[in-house]
């Protein structure tokens, strides 16, 4: 199976920077313990209002497992607004349904020889 990569950009609600970065750090620590998580980092901009998450999973099932078990997601979503969500790799109907809830999600599939 091919890996699944994800890039999300969120804007932190005014006055919530410390809370957002604390939750983000906890998410990074949690994600790195999950089987199938190849890489997971969250980056902060110097202006102090945007966070960018880059993640690589072994497959869609690993992403879904993270999504279902992340104990920090609900609190994180209370202090940020999703500006962009990009997913790179093959999808499934379940992943499509979850991404549709974000509204700003874009999916990109792998270009293969013969895909002219």
pLDDT band at 18 (very low <50, low <70, confident <90, very high): very high
Tens of pLDDT, residue by residue over 48-104, are: 799 999 999 999 999 999 988 999 999 999 999 999 999 999 888 888 888 888 777
pLDDT (tens digit, 9 = 90+) per residue, 41-53? 999 998 879 999 9
Structural domains in the chain plus CATH codes: 4-108 (3.30.70.100)
Nearest CA-CA partner of 30 in 77, 74, 84, 73: 73
pTM of the model as a whole: 0.88
Return contacts of 72-79, CB within 8 angstroms, 24+ apart: 72/23, 72/26, 72/27, 72/30, 73/27, 75/23, 76/20, 76/23, 76/24, 76/27, 79/12, 79/13, 79/16, 79/19, 79/20, 79/23
Contact yes or no for 48/17 (Cβ under 8 A): yes
């Amino acid at each position: 199976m091919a890996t699944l990569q994800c890039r999300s950009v969120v804007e932190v609600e005014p006055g919530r920077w410390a809370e957002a970065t604390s939750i983000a750090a906890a998410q990074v620590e949690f994600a790195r313990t999950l089987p199938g998580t190849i890489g997971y980092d969250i980056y902060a901009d110097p202006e102090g209002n945007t966070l960018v998450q880059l993640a690589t999973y072994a497959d869609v099932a690993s992403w879904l497992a993270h999504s279902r078990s992340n104990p920090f997601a609900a609190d994180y979503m209370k202090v940020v607004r999703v500006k962009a969500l990009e997913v790179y790799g093959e999808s499934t109907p379940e992943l499509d349904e979850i991404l549709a809830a974000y509204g700003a999600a874009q999916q990109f599939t792998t270009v293969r020889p013969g895909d002219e």
